[in-house]
Amino acid sequence: MSATQTEPIVEIISEDIIDDSQPTVLNAVVKSKSKDSESWKEVADVVSYSPTGAGFYMARQVSPGQLISLMLPLPAEMRCYDHDKEFYRVWGVVQFCQKQNGDDYELYHIGVAFTGKNAPPSYNEDPERHFRICGMNTDGLWKIEPAKAAFKIRRDVRFWQSIECYVALVDKEKKSLSGAKSVTENVSKSGAAVFSTLDVNVGDRVKLICEPHDYSGLAIVCNRQNAKDGRMRLHLNFVDAKFPVENLKLVEAKN
């Protein structure tokens, strides 16, 4: 399933790449600061995008929770502001960074959740600070807060159970746009891996409804990948309600 922080910013770090659906690759200028506070920038190939996030490839490795900025020619209908400008400047918090296999070069597949036009003041005070998602802003982009601890692999126990559920794509008012019956591969307090046919992208907002456990919660799509059996797997990070794992069988749990 996923990787989290002690204060979770994300519920997955996958070993497989996203199955991207956009037909056109966009170029983006990605900027941030390194550990020594030196500014850096790199041109990246954006291969998956939505109004609330993007997936792209670049040579530099970044870490989940890191804040970076992108400048890219995002389609106007995908923007939350600056609709008439040639380039869209947006900040995002890194959700995953996966190294790709290459013969004589290094390449990383990165997913970010868009957070807004400006970086929070706490970033300018400490560019090395990491952040976690804590909800949504009124403009429909993700709300973030400083993380309380460094990145840590799998804080929450995962329960490997197939649970019937319903996953719905929602807009910034949390109104359902589309949905599909799904089944979990595994679930923890803060996220789940779900087999689903729902057409969504990294950064999209979805609602997971699980009637058997009386659960309904908002989640961010942190990754999506094709399973070996051909099914689509969505990796979700719950942002407003924890899953009641106390109702699951402990014998099914794995660290």
Q: Which of 121, 137, 152 is the last residue of a domain?
A: 152
Domain count, the chain: 2
Please tell me whether residue 121 adopts helix, strand or coil conformation: helix
Q: Is the dihedral of CA 116, 121, 123, 124 positive or negative?
A: positive
Report pTM: 0.59
Non-local (6+) Cβ contacts of 102 within 8 A are none
Q: Could you tell me which of 110, 115, 108 has the C-alpha nearest to residue 96?
A: 110
Return the CATH number at 237.
2.40.10.220
Non-local (6+) Cβ contacts of 101 within 8 A are none
Tokens describing residue 140: 């429909």
Residue 243 pLDDT more than 70? yes
Return the CATH number at 131.
2.40.10
Chain segment 79-119, per-residue pLDDT in tens: 999 999 999 999 999 887 877 766 667 888 888 889 999 99
DSSP-derived letter for residue 214 is T
Average pLDDT over residues 177-205: 87
